[in-house]
């Protein structure tokens, strides 16, 4: 059984992870953390009874997973005090036909309140932002908390890359572990899948798949969330987003050693200044240790800058300084 202890005042203790939002994404994230025995979990929501009920359900499954995680459901941020990692999933989900930008104002109001509470209770935490539009909400979270940029990071690129790998593996009927891909830029329809560096069993995707099919897969990847919303009607995706969050958590805790595409604050990297956007990063218990900058083509740079422009426009629309 693997436990991640940290030393506090001479006592070995579990890591503490708070998940804000007890909807499908938040509850599934809490479940995966507990199932893998990564940390104690605090599940917070404004709905009376919901976080407590879901936490109790997950807690009762822990003996079957041989997990020592303690799961707490609450409406009170004081219970999250001193968290090592805070995951923000709270917000309104997308509905059929809704763009991520449509969520801007409603979710910004939610993020404002959540960020103020985190600032009061978990001043040393790393924050993972999931709420859409994710790159803008990550920017807003950092502004409100005042945390160092490296300790506030957005999830989107991990999910987008996983979707692209999935679609390629299904198309070619190969194990998904044989597929390598990378997505840059904003989350969702602002993403920039790099077919140039995508490979299957080490072979460039461009050498084994027609460009027309690659284009189809890229478009399906960009609309991966909308496709699921269209099928579920009143729900949005939650299993893959939760797994993406946990992938980041395991990397932060040092269980996995790999770079991940995440929404990180850019200070000149890739020619972009002062916003959050999806790039490959190295994560650790300090947050974003390093942004990995590599050469991109002229067309890729143009698409990346267009993605950055759209994120900046949304920030300006919110009048965030």
- Residue 8: pLDDT band (50, 70, 90) is very low
Last residue of a domain, one of 155, 190, 221: 155
Angle (deg, nearest 10), helices 156-172 and 239-252: 120
pLDDT surpasses 80 at 86: yes
- What DSSP state is assigned to residue 147? -
Higher per-residue confidence, 257 vs 70 = 70
Q: How far apart are the C-alpha atoms of 110 and 113, rounded to whole Å? A: 6
Q: Are 164 and 181 in contact (CB under 8 A)?
A: yes
Q: Are residues 260 and 122 in the same domain?
A: no
Q: Are residues 240 and 311 in the same domain?
A: yes
Q: Are 130 and 25 in contact (CB under 8 A)?
A: yes
Q: Are residues 151 and 163 in the same domain?
A: no
Q: Active site includes 187? A: yes
Reference 240, options 127, 160, 179, 134; nearest CA is 160
CATH of the domain at 277: 3.90.110.10
Q: Are 228 and 220 in contact (CB under 8 A)?
A: no
Last residue of a domain, one of 102, 134, 155: 155
Q: Label residue 124 exposed, middle or buried (CB < 10 Å: 0-12, 13-18, 19+).
A: exposed
pLDDT surpasses 70 at 256: yes
- Residue 7: pLDDT band (50, 70, 90) is very low
Q: Average model confidence (pLDDT) for the chain?
A: 91
What single string gives the DSSP state of each residue in 230-270? HHHSS----HHHHHHHHHHHHHHTTSS---EEEEEEEESGG
Residue 190 is predicted with a pLDDT of 81
For residue range 106-115, list pLDDT tens digits in order. 899 999 999 9
CATH of the domain at 68: 3.40.50.720
- Residue 6: pLDDT band (50, 70, 90) is very low
Q: Are residues 147 and 213 in the same domain?
A: no
Helical segments of 24-155, H only: 24-35, 50-65, 104-121, 134-145
Q: Are residues 311 and 195 in the same domain?
A: yes
- Residue 58: pLDDT band (50, 70, 90) is very high
Residue 97 is predicted with a pLDDT of 59
Report the relative pairing of strands 71-74 and 85-88 from DSSP bridges. unpaired
Give the sign of the dihedral formed by CA 237, CA 239, CA 241, CA 242.
positive
Q: Are residues 148 and 163 in the same domain?
A: no
For residue range 186-208, list pLDDT tens digits in order. 987 788 989 889 999 999 999 99
Across 57-64, average pLDDT? 98
* Cβ neighbours for 146, distance < 8 A, ≥ 6 positions apart: 119
Q: Are residues 90 and 200 in the same domain?
A: no
CB atoms closer than 10 angstroms to residue 92: 16
Q: Are 185 and 307 in contact (CB under 8 A)?
A: yes
Q: How far apart are the C-alpha atoms of 26 and 71, rounded to whole Å? A: 13
Residue 10 is predicted with a pLDDT of 36
Residue 2 is predicted with a pLDDT of 37
32-46, 75-89, 231-245: lowest mean pLDDT where? 231-245
Residue 187 is predicted with a pLDDT of 86
Q: Are residues 167 and 138 in the same domain?
A: no
What residue numbers bound the domain in which 163 lies? 157-317
Higher per-residue confidence, 92 vs 182 = 182
Q: Are residues 162 and 291 in the same domain?
A: yes
- Residue 291: pLDDT band (50, 70, 90) is very high
Angle (deg, nearest 10), helices 298-317 and 134-145: 60
Domain count, the chain: 2
Percent of the chain with pLDDT over 70: 92
- Residue 13: pLDDT band (50, 70, 90) is low
Residue 243 is predicted with a pLDDT of 98
Last residue of a domain, one of 138, 155, 172: 155
- What DSSP state is assigned to residue 81? T
Q: How far apart are the C-alpha atoms of 284 and 171, rounded to whole Å? A: 34
Across 82-94, average pLDDT? 91
Residue 11 is predicted with a pLDDT of 37
Percent of the chain with pLDDT over 90: 80
pLDDT surpasses 80 at 5: no
Considering just the CA atoms, what is the radius of gyration of the chain in Å? 19
| Three-class DSSP labels, 184-196 | EECCHHHEEECHH
Residue 321 is predicted with a pLDDT of 58
- Residue 96: pLDDT band (50, 70, 90) is low
Q: Are residues 139 and 81 in the same domain?
A: yes
Residue 101 is predicted with a pLDDT of 59
Q: Are residues 170 and 307 in the same domain?
A: yes
Higher per-residue confidence, 9 vs 231 = 231
Tokens of 279: 């790039």
Tokens of 198: 């995508």
Report the relative pairing of strands 260-267 and 40-44 from DSSP bridges. unpaired
Catalytic choice (4, 149, 187, 312): 187
E strand or H helix at 199: strand 199-200
What single string gives the DSSP state of each residue in 86-106? EEE--SPPP-TT--GGGGHHH
pLDDT surpasses 90 at 9: no
């Amino acid at each position: 059984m693997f436990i991640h202890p940290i030393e506090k005042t001479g006592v070995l203790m579990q890591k503490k992870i708070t998940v804000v939002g007890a909807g499908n994404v938040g509850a599934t994230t809490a479940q995966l953390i507990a199932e893998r025995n990564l940390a104690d979990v605090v599940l917070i929501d404004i709905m009376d009874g919901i976080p407590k009920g879901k936490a109790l359900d997950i807690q009762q499954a822990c003996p079957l997973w041989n997990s020592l995680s303690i799961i707490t459901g609450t409406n009170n941020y004081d219970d999250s005090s001193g968290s090592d990692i805070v995951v923000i999933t709270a917000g309104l989900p997308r509905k059929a036909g809704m763009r991520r930008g449509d969520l801007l104002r409603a979710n910004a109001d939610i993020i404002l309140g959540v960020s103020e509470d985190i600032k009061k209770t978990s001043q040393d935490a790393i924050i993972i932002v999931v709420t859409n539009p994710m790159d803008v909400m990550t920017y807003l979270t950092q502004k409100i908390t005042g945390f160092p940029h490296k300790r506030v990071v957005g999830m989107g690129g991990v999910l987008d890359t996983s979707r692209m790998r999935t679609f390629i593996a299904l198309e070619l009927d190969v194990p998904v572990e044989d597929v390598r891909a990378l997505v840059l830029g904003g989350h969702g329809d602002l993403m920039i899948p790099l077919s140039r560096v995508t490979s299957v069993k080490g072979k460039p995707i461009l050498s084994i798949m027609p460009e027309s099919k690659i284009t189809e897969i890229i478009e399906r990847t960009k609309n991966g969330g909308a496709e699921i919303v269209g099928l579920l009607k009143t729900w949005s995706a939650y299993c893959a987003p939760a797994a993406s969050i946990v992938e980041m958590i395991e990397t932060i805790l040092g269980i996995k050693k790999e770079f991940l595409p995440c929404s990180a604050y850019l200070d000149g990297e890739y020619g972009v200044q002062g916003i959050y956007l999806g790039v490959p990063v190295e994560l650790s218990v300090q947050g974003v240790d390093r942004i990995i900058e590599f050469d991109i083509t002229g067309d890729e740079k143009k698409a990346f800058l267009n993605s950055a422009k759209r994120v900046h426009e949304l920030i300006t629309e919110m009048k965030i300084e």
